[in-house]
Structure 1
Amino acid sequence: MSARRTPWWHYAVGIVMGLICGAALVKIGESSEFSLIGAPWIVPIVLAILGVVVFAMAYQVHQVVKGKRKYINPAVSVYALVLSKALGLAAAALLGWYMGQLLMSLGHADAPFYTQAMVECGVSAVVCLADMIVGIVGEWFCQLPPNEGPEHPKAKAAERQRKLAAASPASASASAESVRE
């Protein structure tokens, strides 16, 4: 399986999209009786637990890659990588979502409802930032070193040295003499 690292701009797009949607939610809530801003306290708790679990899984894979642990189920390795990618991207979008709500609510900071929503969004945004970092680091932890095959940098350097030695004038004359004999 060949997995590529998530480009940095995917996280940026997630944050911007979440920011726009979160800000739009506050604007809609201002103009209607129905408001959905804020986050229940269970949200940052669950997100923090999820971040710890994903980090632990990715760290186990990292231990195997570094040779400090003998074996890990390959399915667990794939799950750790996929969860790290998903956590990083989802946390980026949620970070933007909660920051958008927080920024749009600043004008209403004197109202108790908005003050409580701002605190909830602030805590959730901090947890989402930590989860995004955990996702990025977890993805890095799951990165395997290059195999020792022909594409390995050491093998390429050795092949290059062998070709240079074969192409040098001294080796060409020595091989010509051995052919004459």
Structure 2
Amino acid sequence: MKTIRPLWLAVIAFVSGAAGWVATVLTNRASLPTPVLPLSSLITMGIIVLMTLVFGFRVRRWRNGNRDRVLNPILAARTWVLAQACAYAGALLVGWHLGILVDQLPTVALRSNLTVIWLALAMVAGGLVMVAVGFIVERFCRIPPEDGPPPEGGRKRTSTGEEEYA
């Protein structure tokens, strides 16, 4: 399984930023409202972040030695996938709303109502929190390397590269 790649997050943010900018230009030309998410979407983002953290702390607690109960491996895998989804969705939201801000910031002095600017800034902040939580929880799901030499009687490699058990 592969970890979150910061380069992919940057590409997603850049592409969605360009799309957000184009969408804002087109909607403004057509006298339509700016395509920014409402403030209530921060509640949804907060719930997703909170769920990701709760599941991540369960996996982290088990990984760090509190092994009263067996950790369900499916739960750990789903937590890892949720962390990655949280980071990628956060990058998408950050890019989209930064694209909106790029279009709207030059007109700040001409506006009497700055609601769109504040909403876009709030969504950028929420997206950054999602990306950060995704990275953190993904780190929780990593298994630390084993200390010491490999055990005797374990697997050995043959000259052909195949593994055999001793």
Same fold (TM over 0.5): yes
8 Å contact from structure 1 (residues 39, 117) kept in 2: no
- 1:50 maps to what in 2? 48
* CA-CA distance at 1:153 after TM superposition: 6.9
**Matched pairs, number:** 150
Q: Deviations over 1:27-77 (max 9, x none)?
A: 112211223422211111210121111011111101111112433222211
Structure 2 residues without counterparts, runs of 5 or longer: 153-166
1:76 and 2:75 equivalent?
Answer: yes
The residue that corresponds to 1:99 in the other structure is: 98
Distance, in Å, in 1 between the alignment partners of 2:15 and 2:148 is 40
Look up the match of 1:18: 16
For normalisation by structure 1, the TM-score amounts to 0.75
TM-score between the two structures when normalised by the length of structure 2: 0.82
Aligned pair in 2 of structure 1 residues 69, 124: CA closer, same or farther (>3 Å)? farther
Structure 1 stretches lacking a partner, 5+ long:
159-181
| 3-state SS of 2:150 partner | helix
RMSD between aligned alpha carbons?
2.0
Q: Which position in structure 2 is the counterpart of 1:141?
A: 140
Runs of 4+ in 1 over 6 A off after TM superposition: none
Does the 8 Å contact 2:56/2:79 carry over to 1? yes
Identity %, equivalent residues? 21
- Relative distance call for 1:73 and 1:20 in structure 2 (3 A) is same
In 1, Cα distance between equivalents of 2:4 and 2:48: 19
More helix by share: 1
